[in-house]
Amino acid sequence: MIESIKKSLSKKYLVGLTFGLVGMSLAFLLLFQRMYQHELKQLGSQTSIQINKLLQASLENAMLKRDLPGLARIVQRLGEQPDILDVVIANPAGEVRFASDPSRLGKMLPGNGSPQCKICPDKDGLPTESTDFIHLDNGTEALRSINPVHNKQPCNQCHGPTAKHPVNGVLLIDYDAGSIRKRARNTTLMLMSSGAVIVLITVIGGLWFMRHVVVKPLANLSAATYAFSHGILSQRVAVNSKDEVGQLGHAFNDMAETIQSHVEKIQQNEAFLQQLIDAIPDGIRVIDSDFNVVLANRAYYELLKLDKDSTPTKCYEQSHGRDAPCPPTLIACPLHEIRHKGFVSHKSIQTMYDRSGNSISTEVYSAPLFYLHKGKKKWMIVESIRDLQKEIQLSHELKLSAIGQLAAGIAHEIHNPLGSIRLALHATLRSLSGDNCDKGQVREYLGLVDHEIDRCIDITARLLKLSASATDIPQPVRINKAIKETASLLQWEASQDGIDIELQLDPTDPRVIITDSEIRIVVLNMIQNALHAMPDGGTIQIRSEKSGSQVKIHFIDNGIGISAEDMPHIFDPFFSHRVIEEKGTGLGLTICKTIVERYDGHLHVESAPGKGAHFTMTLPDTDHEISEVAL
């Protein structure tokens, strides 16, 4: 490409310069030729005039002296001069009186109509001075100069008065045109050669100038532009001049620097955006109005087992294995729903398919995204795709994790009854092994064993309720019982940290619609969250109360509190800010909020640094709803 640019510019310059110089040379040559011929004529005319004056002086002298033979000798000698073909002096009637060629004496000059007479004087008029090229009868080309010999006062005696006879005769001289044209041709060839040398020097100099001053810098600029347009943003032009081409190179470098800076900034922003959405555990994808997936995160590709670099671009191809948009009558297409329902957020349950064709149950949250493109308002949708199977698994794992944290407390709770059972059994064995067996004492020991076994069964029953599957059917659950039994599992852990758990439960024993295991998980996480916020001990108050058509459960601690910076993020997934060294999962409050909102409830928090935290969980009152239905 660069070589073609060099050849193109050089060729155009060479052709243009050559045509221009040749044209100018021809124009000047023609002009010079005409000027040269004119100068020749003028020169011949001036020469003949000078000769005429000489002859006229000699004629006057000869006439006065009556020396006509002397005048004839002058004419003859003049005709013998180089490059002079003929010299004639004729009277006004055209008769030759004196001639360098004696054979022409007494003859008449050619009259009108003769090719040789186009510059001869008219016999009825007065001859005038003239010079022109003619061809003689023998084919020789001559430059003929005609000059009239005027009558003067000394000649009036023979020729009459000047007023009546103004001209005494005509002087005609024929110069050899061949020698004149040869000198002109030689001069022309010399001028043409000089012009050719000048043209050659001009062309070579112009080519050198074009190559080093124009073509080479432009070729470098073209190469840099080509490289820059193909992604080599660090490409720059070496500038060695301050002329217009150099200024163009500086302008290119400035432009390239600006573009590279902007591109790098855009790439950094794109990388940050990709890293940002890749950090989100749910699948995220952005779809334009033509069903193209323009952006997606790592979780989305992992969910559908897609290759990011070689996947179809259409959303229905990627997640539903279709070759056309999903029918809105069969599948709740978020793009269709948002467009036809006033661009509001949409939530749906969809069955998607990974690359292997395996079905995946998902919960899809969609929201519109508006932006400007070339001054026009455009829109896309942002989808958050949650794998329901993983959500169930995560909830179950969270409960198992919470149960694991209870292991120490449960072991302590069971250890004491087992110790009592062991002591009672040893005492019973000693009593039965003796000679005097006290049946009342044995009965007392066995009663103690039975009581302690009931305690162990109660503890394990509470633990089983806490670990029950989240797929249980929601039903009315007594809040007070769930709070007491769950709190009892954490009493030993709290006592080890110097924390008291105080219960203030509504005596009306309110009920809410929820699964028993989920309400216990919420209570467990809320108490554990408070324990982690009280490294120096303190008090946790748990209150339940009816409030109109709702049931409220308050969790109040006097721990370190929550800062204003952390407050907007405490319910975000994976956000953890414990004051103890052990790092939390950051999912406890997220799960609590999710469970509460699933049953049309609300979880609210009030806190300030150093003043503890007050969480309020609100759920619909089942008994109030039943009474409303009965009415």
406-467: which CATH topology? Helix Hairpins (1.10.287)
Predicted TM-score (pTM) of the model is: 0.39
pLDDT in tens, 289-305: 899 998 899 989 888 88
DSSP-derived secondary structure for 459-511: HHHHHHHHT--TTSPPEEEEHHHHHHHHHHHTHHHHHHTTEEEEEE--TT--E
pLDDT in tens, 374-406: 888 889 999 999 887 766 555 555 555 555 655
Contacts of 113 (CB under 8 A, 6+ apart): none
CA distance 351 to 547: 41
Burial class (CB within 10 angstroms; exposed 0-12, middle 13-18, buried 19+) of 624: middle
Domain 473-631 classified CATH 3.30.565.10? yes
Range from 119-128, 338-347, 458-467, 507-516 carrying the lowest mean pLDDT = 119-128
Contact of 100 with 72, CB cutoff 8 Å: no
Mean pLDDT of 420-435: 70
Contacts of 573 (CB under 8 A, 6+ apart): 281, 586, 587, 590
Rg (CA), the chain: 62
Q: Looking at residue 373, what is its pLDDT?
A: 82
pLDDT in tens, 26-44: 766 676 666 666 655 565 5
Contact of 402 with 531, CB cutoff 8 Å: no
Mean pLDDT of 99-112: 78
Going by pLDDT thresholds of 50, 70 and 90, the confidence category of residue 613 is very high
Q: Looking at residue 489, what is its pLDDT?
A: 76
pLDDT in tens, 309-348: 766 788 888 888 888 888 877 778 888 888 888 888 888 8
DSSP secondary structure code for residue 116 in this structure: G
CA distance 325 to 347: 19
Fold match between domain 18-183 and domain 279-386: yes
Q: Looking at residue 503, what is its pLDDT?
A: 94
Phi, psi torsion values for 44, nearest 5 degrees = -65, -40
Q: Looking at residue 395, what is its pLDDT?
A: 56
> SS3 for 178?
helix
Question: To which CATH superfamily is domain 18-183 assigned?
Answer: PAS domain (3.30.450.20)
Percent of the chain, pLDDT > 90? 11
CA distance 317 to 354: 10
pLDDT in tens, 478-500: 999 989 988 887 887 788 889 99
Q: Looking at residue 310, what is its pLDDT?
A: 65
Q: Looking at residue 381, what is its pLDDT?
A: 92
> SS3 for 135?
strand
Q: Looking at residue 579, what is its pLDDT?
A: 47
pLDDT in tens, 166-214: 777 788 888 777 776 677 677 767 767 776 777 778 777 777 777 777 7
> SS3 for 456?
helix
Q: Looking at residue 211, what is its pLDDT?
A: 73
Q: Looking at residue 5, what is its pLDDT?
A: 47
Mean residue pLDDT across the chain: 77
Q: Which of the listed CATH numbers 1.10.10.10, 3.30.450.20, 3.40.50.300, 3.30.70.2860 matches domain 279-386?
A: 3.30.450.20
Above 70 in pLDDT, residue 21? no
Going by pLDDT thresholds of 50, 70 and 90, the confidence category of residue 70 is confident
CA distance 277 to 439: 74
pLDDT in tens, 133-170: 787 777 788 878 777 777 776 666 676 677 777 777 78
Strands in 550-557's sheet, in edge-to-edge order, are 499-504, 538-547, 550-557, 613-620, 602-607
- Domain limits, the chain: 18-183, 279-386, 406-467, 473-631
Above 80 in pLDDT, residue 257? yes
